[in-house]
Amino acid sequence: MCRLHHIQSQDIYYASPNIYQNNENHKIGAFYVLTEGCKTIYPLKADGFLNIDQIKIDQGFIQ
């Protein structure tokens, strides 16, 4: 079986971030949730999601 097909056929959760703005410095953070016992894919960059509004993400977090 082709490696790409194997990867794409896995039952894996693709994490989408919750976006929050710090009230003190107005920086924007992307928070991804890490769930125990669930295979999850996270982007390499914090803004590596469908960002239609072109929000500038200052920092990414995995909780």
Whole-structure pTM over 0.85, yes or no? no
Question: From first to last of its 63 residues, what are the pLDDT tens digits of the chain?
Answer: 577 788 778 888 888 889 999 999 999 999 988 888 888 888 888 877 766 677 888 999 988
- Per DSSP, the three-state class of 23 is coil
DSSP state of 42: -
- Per DSSP, the three-state class of 53 is coil
